[in-house]
Structure 1
Amino acid sequence: MPYPFRAVAVCRRAWVTALGLSLCAGASAQTELVIATVNNGHMIEMQKLGKHFEQAHPDIRLKWVTLEEGVLRQRVTTDIATKGGQFDVMTIGMYETPIWGKKGWLQALKTDAAYDADDLLPAIRQGLSVDGKLFAAPFYGESSMLMYRKDLADKVGVQVPERPTWPQIKDLAAKIHDPKNGVYGICLRGKPGWGDNMAFLSTLVNTFGGQWFDMQWKPQLQSKPWQEAIHFYVDLLKHHGPPGSSANSFNELLALTNSGKCGIWIDATIAASFVSDARQSKVAGQMAFAQAPTMHTPKGANWLWSWNLAIPAGSRKVDAAQKFITWSTSKDYVQLVAKTNGWANVPTGTRRSTYANAEFQKAARFAAAEKMAIDSANPTDATLPQSPYIGVQFAAIPEFQAIGIAVGQQMSAALAGKSTVEAALKASQTLAEREMKKAGYYR
């Protein structure tokens, strides 16, 4: 029997006992929170542990709507834009949060001393705030980092520095590339998409000194930094990468790395826990970690992302939603996951206290490199020339999603040899200009 009806049954017994003197005195129906979330491991675990929240808050019941990432984005975007009211708590990214917060589509979150917002990693907190107000609370965060086979680097006599340069990485990739024995020098994303190949390529362009838009919002896709960065990328994977790189994204590259086929992989910090896990990776003991490579500038060399929980503006269940978000993104929740599943499985990338914990450091030998990567990412200052947008591997404007997808297709075509780099960038510039003019950014 659903909880609300259970409450009504209790009320009826109280009414009979009191001979009509009081109807449901002191009793109240439960508040049902509908939570839209993504179907990844950390979020699935949150659902399992939700019983602890319900036990502590018997007046609140959690209802989960679990969706694949692309479907989730579409559903929550439609719901919040139309004020549909389907969800009380939404799982959204760092891309949506500042856009929706600025539009007034999200409820500003309230944090007390016990929540300790100052414990949030500065880069993550900044990326989720508008005018100093936090509009979403981070459940887990990530940056990008260098993961490599130290045994292969040692074999060729190369010591990888804490923050290498791209020429150094290219040199190492060339030395360890051994396709006849099933080892490729370097693995990088090539599958088209604003969150796939363009997440990586945006950081590459950043460190080559480029940007998506100048201060007049004019696209810069045919600039010298874009030309240099994309030529470098295509040449690097053509000579030292695995075949079919234009179809590879996170999952494909993780599989290649865990099977020992990638000498170098630059991708999300969340991957470090997988490649260093002997249950998943054949080369777990050989994996080492460093910062994402730089070229002309360290600015924007590694991306910044988080999955976050937010409350739609106009919600009728703000208090209950605030309680749940506070619980699920708190220091106590991290401790609960550690107690239940071990420190190697806690959601990372959000709190200083997690990285200060000796047990976590022992379980996650990548912890220091991960935290350094996240701390170094600055979404408000990610490009060498001044830019008008917030974001490291994206521009936090509504038009970017469509532009990023289209440009990603062009870059993937260049990588596959179906287009030249020059032609791909020219087409990208044309489509980006069209979208930005249509949106009224400039004439």
Structure 2
Amino acid sequence: MVDNPQMLELKKLTAQHFTKRTGIDVHFTTLPENEVRKEVHSDFALRSGRYDVATISNFETRDFARRGWLRPLDSFITKDRSFGQSDIMLPIQLSLSGADGKVYAEPFYGESSFLMYRKDVFRELGLEMPEKPTWSQIAALAERADRPGKGMSGICLRGLPGWGEMAAPLTTVVNTFGGTWFDRDWNARLTDNGFTEAARFYVGLVREHGQENPTKSGYADCLRNMKNGKSAMWYDATAGAGPLEADGSPVKGKIGYAPAPIEETRSSGWLYTWAWGMQKSTEQPRSAWEFMSWASSKEYESLVGREIGWENVPAGKRESTFDRPQYKRAAAAFGDATEKAIREADPRRPGVQKRPTLGIQFVGVPEFTGLGDHVSRELSAAIEGEQSVTAALRKSQREARKVGARYERR
């Protein structure tokens, strides 16, 4: 599994609270995100059975299911009435289902994206955040909030190259500006007006009112900037709210939360989940399901709340979590905004036109990892002033055509 903090907490709690009750020993291999993706892809492709269960995201789920690497979970769900599949939020369920409609993974936590901003700074400057902001409005607010003399940028946006870094928020901007990576027939559309306007806007906003060293700034860097008072706004994952509101955070209670900015769409937040997938070749399917069911359960959320704190609960996957009094108190500042963002995310139709795959901030094919990395590198160079956005997208279009050609013929 991926070695993020909430997963490591799970590892600590398993022996005492799962193995002790069930007698099932769980042996964990924890790796950084890039490494865990490679390890899981390799092991599941070979069907070695070394891992019974692995963390996969909604990016991999449908592809792995199509390749026959995952065991469908519907029969386990039917027998395990206490699990409560109907409690899993619908956008999360959709993102973890195969083209055949079967369930292939269960979520550990889910997230969308929204805009975080300094309420105190806005009051001081006489600024007002719209209830449902557009990107045009955010650009104007960033200009007014940008105070380099006081060490504060107007906004922080990921500029670090990577399909899971810069390409993620950028793609949500592309969607709402009317663009897309590919149309439904797999024609590459990176040089169309919608994609071009979105890329120019994103690059221009970062260059003019973004953080220092933007091409070295990813999620963790923008989170640090926001916590340390170096940015007035930040557009990113809803998961960022927890650390901002944690005890000891210098900005606790000072942050406001607004929906992901829009232009041509009704909403534009992304959808992401780390989830449990069962390898098709496992020889211990019942034990594997018992662990997966526990790790994604309401029972486990309660355990985390008692043992570690309700602000650390792996939320964003169950409807009921947002109704729990303990969680509502711990997440009072951002819980409603997070729930709304996830509920409004639609991986089936994230933009103004139909798409060839399921996904919001990514194109759901394996080749997107390389393509997203390439395009974000080209646009990162545009942020640095090494080339124009037009030149970056012209080169990117050629790479996108190669990917599209592989699927046009199918």
What TM-score range do you get, normalising by the shorter chain? over 0.9
CA offset at residue 440 of structure 1?
A: 4.5
Does structure 1 residue 179 correspond to structure 2 residue 143?
no
CA offset at residue 210 of structure 1?
A: 0.9
Does structure 1 residue 340 correspond to structure 2 residue 304?
no
CA offset at residue 416 of structure 1?
A: 1.4
Does structure 1 residue 66 correspond to structure 2 residue 30?
yes
Residue 349 of structure 1: aligned partner: 316
Larger Rg: 1
Contact residue 57 and residue 275 of structure 2 kept, 8 A: yes
In structure 2, distance between residues paired with 1:162 and 1:48: 41
Equivalent residues, number: 403
In structure 2, distance between residues paired with 1:71 and 1:138: 20
1:287 to 245, 255, 280: 255
- After TM superposition, the structure 1 = structure 2 runs for residues 30-69 of structure 1, keeping only pairs within 5 Å, are 37-51=1-15, 52-58=17-23, 60-69=24-33
Contact residue 153 and residue 172 of structure 1 kept, 8 A: no
**SS of residue paired to 1:61:** coil
CA offset at residue 285 of structure 1?
A: 2.2
- After TM superposition, the structure 1 = structure 2 runs for residues 49-198 of structure 1, keeping only pairs within 5 Å, are 49-51=13-15, 52-58=17-23, 60-109=24-73, 110-111=76-77, 112-130=80-98, 131-198=100-167
Between 321-330 and 149-158, the greater mean CA deviation after superposition: 149-158
Runs of 4+ with deviation above 4 angstroms: none
Q: Which runs of 5+ in 1 are unaligned?
A: 1-36
In structure 2, distance between residues paired with 1:79 and 1:220: 34
CA offset at residue 357 of structure 1?
A: 0.8
CA offset at residue 145 of structure 1?
A: 0.8
Q: What TM-score results when the alignment is normalised by the length of structure 1?
A: 0.89
Contact residue 362 and residue 368 of structure 2 kept, 8 A: yes
Residue 232 of structure 1: aligned partner: 201
Does structure 1 residue 256 correspond to structure 2 residue 225?
yes
**SS of residue paired to 2:29:** strand
In structure 2, distance between residues paired with 1:192 and 1:408: 5
Does structure 1 residue 209 correspond to structure 2 residue 178?
yes
CA offset at residue 243 of structure 1?
A: 2.0
**SS of residue paired to 2:117:** strand
Amino acid at match of 1:368: D
Contact residue 49 and residue 283 of structure 2 kept, 8 A: no
Between 346-355 and 129-138, the greater mean CA deviation after superposition: 129-138
Residues 168 and 86 of structure 1: CA distance in aligned 2, closer, same or farther (over 3 Å): same
Over the aligned positions, Cα root-mean-square deviation in angstroms equals 1.2
Q: Deviations over 1:270-315 (max 9, x none)?
A: 1001112241x3222211111110012135x111000001101121
Residue 328 of structure 1: aligned partner: 295
In structure 1, distance between residues paired with 2:51 and 2:281: 11
Structure with the greater relative contact order (CA < 8 A, sep ≥ 6): 1 or 2?
A: 2
Does structure 1 residue 367 correspond to structure 2 residue 332?
no
Amino acid at match of 2:91: A
CA offset at residue 402 of structure 1?
A: 1.5
**SS of residue paired to 1:101:** helix
Contact residue 217 and residue 442 of structure 1 kept, 8 A: no
In structure 2, distance between residues paired with 1:154 and 1:210: 35
In structure 2, distance between residues paired with 1:361 and 1:161: 24
Identity %: 39
CA offset at residue 356 of structure 1?
A: 0.6
Amino acid at match of 2:36: L
CA offset at residue 186 of structure 1?
A: 0.4
- After TM superposition, the structure 1 = structure 2 runs for residues 408-427 of structure 1, keeping only pairs within 5 Å, are 408-427=376-395
2:168 to 188, 199, 220: 199
In structure 2, distance between residues paired with 1:63 and 1:297: 45
In structure 2, distance between residues paired with 1:440 and 1:355: 40
CA offset at residue 127 of structure 1?
A: 0.3
